[in-house]
Homo-oligomer: A and B are copies of this chain.
Amino acid sequence: MKKEVAIGIDIGGTNTVIGVVDREGNLLAEGHTPTLTNTDIKNYLEVLTAKINETVFEIKEEIEVKGIGVGAPSSNYYTGEIVGASNLGWGDVVPFVQLLREYYDYPAIILTNDANSAAVGELMYGGAKGMKNMIMLTLGTGVGSGIIVNGELVLGHDGFAGELGHVIMDTNGRECGCGRKGCLETYASATGICRTVSELIATSKIPSELRKVPSGNFTSKMIFDAAEKGDKLALEAFEITGKMLGEAIANFVAFSSPEAVFLFGGLALAGDYIFKPTKKYMEENMCFLYSNKVKLLPSKLDGAKIAVLGASAVVWKELEN
């Protein structure tokens, strides 16, 4: 009997990763292709589908493809459209699923945003296995989120639920790419902690090796490395970032009372430097009903594969319903 598989596709700003994944989350084949941006979407689809076919080809005798799950920024699960993803440059509204259906007629062809697919991946194959209520926060360039309630992805009435990076923490706070001020992602992302370091350089007298680096060159990895060497300013930056993130999570908990909150992405790789202050401020700011009940955990999935695993997992979720 042929093995049932789903194809997971992760569309990043630079690269696209394709994975052929079975129901147990095993990656049977993998392919990569550059994400062609600022072009007619049809050009990209030609390249993408050729690469999909090539990736599947080697094992095509052994498998039965049940669907394709695509994770991409600004994606709408209900409509299958990518909306307002200016960095991809394919236009304001791209009917991605409809276009992909011109190439394939699998039972499920699904588009969802990358944080949602990461949440489903964690739920099906990672540390959230068996949970019914959890929140995944992806701390990368921005802050994304995928929320699971009663075992289901929270999509909202319009497919755009779960934008916790755009919860406002301070109405007079930092300018955000979304046009507003003080969004969580201006503080608690890999980019946010770089801004915090710049702010500390300006406002404090804490000595730091980071003062020698042009602020435009900061990376969260660099701040982590400085913290590892005991750099006080870097440590303070993690403390401030964890405070903001912990306060935010305490409020998220009052919404859906999850069993666990998972952190994933560049900033989460800093381990205790980010987890310890986040946990502390989360507990300090949490309503007593939830005290010491909600786990704060790192993603258990391989960072390089979570997006593809998650995108494929969404196919199985869809076929269940």
Contact = CB atoms under 8 A, between A and B. Distances in A.
B157 A132 contact: yes
A285 interface: yes
A13 B289 CA distance: 20
A293 B83 CA distance: 16
Interface string A283-315: 001011110010000000000000000000000
Secondary structure dominating the interface of A: loop
Contacts of A159: 257
A27 interface: no
Contact of A254 (B152, B167, B250, B256): B167
Interface in A215-260: 247, 250-252, 254-259
Please tell me how many copies of the chain the complex holds. 2
Contacts of A287: 163, 166, 178, 180, 183
Contacts of A69: none
B160 A149 contact: no
Nearest to A164: B254
A157 B259 contact: yes
Interface size class of A (residues with CB under 8 A): 35 or more
A266 B200 CA distance: 46
A73 B306 CA distance: 41
A156 B285 contact: no
Given A133-B157, A149-B149, A285 B171 contact: yes
A158 B257 contact: yes
A246 to B, nearest CB: 11
A32 to B, nearest CB: 30
Contacts of A255: 147, 154, 161-162, 164, 167, 252, 255-256
A255 B153 CA distance: 12
Which 7 residue pairs are nearest across A and B when measured between Cβ atoms? Answer: A156-B257, A161-B257, A157-B259, A166-B287, A133-B157, A167-B251, A163-B254
